[in-house]
Amino acid sequence: MKLIFRTFLLVVAGGMATGLWVPNETIAKETAQDEQIIQQAFFADIDKGTNEHDWIVELGHGEIAFGDHSDGAESQLVMLSVDDAAGFIFIRKNIPFENAFTGRLLLSGVLGSEDVETSVGFVLIAYSGEELIFQDDMSGRVLVGTMPLSRQEIRTPFLQQVDRVEIGVLLLGQGNAGVESLTLSSVEAVSENVSDEITRYIDEVLGVVLERHVNNAKIDIEKLRLETLSRSRGISTIKEAAPSINWMLSQLGDNHSMYIHESSPNREQSPGPQGKPGIEAKMLSSSVGYLRLSGVWASAEDENYEAFHDLVKQLTEEGVKDWLIDLRSCAGGSMWPMLAYTAPLLDQKKVGMFLDSGGSPEAEWVVSGEWVGLRIAGELTYKAKFGKSAHDFNARDIAVLIGPNTQSSCEALAISFSGQSNVTLLGQPSAGLTTGNVQITLSDNSLLVLAVTRFADRTGRAYDGPVQPDTPTQLNADASDSDLLALLSQIE
């Protein structure tokens, strides 16, 4: 199998006692006293193909390789690498139970990340017959950025009649990860009931949801409460309630809210990689310019804004009249810098808005003069300042290319262009994360990331799900410049 990133293999082969990619033997062999191992799943079986229940490997712009375990044990360090913001690696396997299992399950293993832009985490899915009764992909606890190898786990609440489970590891977006064997264990349940502490905590979260969530008028709060408590039976700590709380949030209909426990390694991190503009500009032809955004994280006043506008102006002076803005691999970022970067091509006026749970405008997105920002009750607040006026480039036609990996703030950017007289949206429906989120600190210092507003375009049209293209088109992720030009010629 192809070796992918030399750094991994040099570190592992060197047998170093420390370092990001050398498993600490204490961590690797760490086992709680209440665990009874059901099965250890070795990733080496991917290469050997000898396991009774073979691994399923799904790759999208990704590769895997192996290094020796630091103590020579049977397990290996499998190394995952994705080189595209829209790429992924999903390695999973099915484990059936000969006799239906009732109780609590624990999935544990050693996991580390290196420059991961979206997330990497374990996955545990449990079925009773054909019914999915539990699913957790470490939502709110995934690794982002660079994190040293450490033990990670997923614990289920008390489950009944489990016939089979799927276990695995999922890397989303560009970056590298290292993972060893996964261990599936049973864990003794302290009680089949829900403790008073867990009940109070779930009620705290539900109280915030009922007060602030964008869909609060549609929520059957009592039904949701009873089901969330049912999924929390047998757990003894608030940390173990994280899967139940994230399940509850998944039922709210926004697909954008999440819970991050205070012990999560991502609790104190910013939501994305800083200092990576994730934007490029070039000419596709003598008259067509191309902008690609793959997620932008920048400060409110960034020197790159003006430099990028100078580049756009230079291309315009060289003959560019039409623009293609490619958001297909734009998986999120900071909304205001993205608006600041693309300001030369936007109308100098209101370009979108946030709607409250009742559908009324709460704040307008404004591009004005030298800045972009919010207008609330007539009062303007700037969010990103890009310097000199950029509204003199007079683009003729603009095509914005979107797809299923266009997410969150990148969808807001697409909506900002929607309705502009010289703009056409092309491609496939976006991801549908079209809500404005806020971070709410709970009583134990955990974070509730909650959808509290809905996106709307400049006309007030609300988005409840994906942004739809004006002209649906199909285009490969690795499309060439000539492919892009051919696409544009089809809509002229």
Residue 29: pLDDT band (50, 70, 90) is very low
Non-local (6+) Cβ contacts of 222 within 8 A are none
279-491 topology per CATH: 2-enoyl-CoA Hydratase; Chain A, domain 1 (3.90.226)
Which of 207-216, 232-241, 409-418, 421-430 shows the lowest mean pLDDT across its residues? 232-241
Q: What is the mean pLDDT of residues 322-351?
A: 87
| Separation of alpha carbons 228 and 232, rounded Å | 6
Which of 74-88, 147-161, 252-266, 407-421 shows the lowest mean pLDDT across its residues? 74-88
| Separation of alpha carbons 161 and 103, rounded Å | 9
What DSSP assignment string belongs to 395-451?
-S-EEEEE-TT--THHHHHHHHHTT-TTEEEEES------EEEEEEE-TTS-EEEEE
Whether 6-189 and 279-491 share one fold: the answer is no
Q: What is the mean pLDDT of residues 197-207?
A: 94
Non-local (6+) Cβ contacts of 227 within 8 A are 248, 251
Chain-centroid distance, C-alpha 69: 30
Q: Are 288 and 485 in contact (CB under 8 A)?
A: yes
Q: What is the mean pLDDT of residues 111-126?
A: 92
Q: Where are the domains of the chain?
A: 6-189, 196-250, 279-491
Instruction: State the pLDDT at residue 89.
Output: 93
Residue 386: pLDDT band (50, 70, 90) is confident
Burial of 190 (0-12, 13-18, 19+ CB in 10 A): middle
| Helices 242-250 and 221-230, packing angle to 10 deg | 150
Computed from CA positions of residues 124, 126, 132, 134, in that sequence, does the dihedral angle turn out positive or negative?
negative
Instruction: State the pLDDT at residue 68.
Output: 57
6-189 topology per CATH: Jelly Rolls (2.60.120)
What DSSP assignment string belongs to 82-107?
E-STT-EEEEEEEEEEEEEEEEEEEE
Which of 122-136, 185-199, 465-479 shows the lowest mean pLDDT across its residues? 185-199
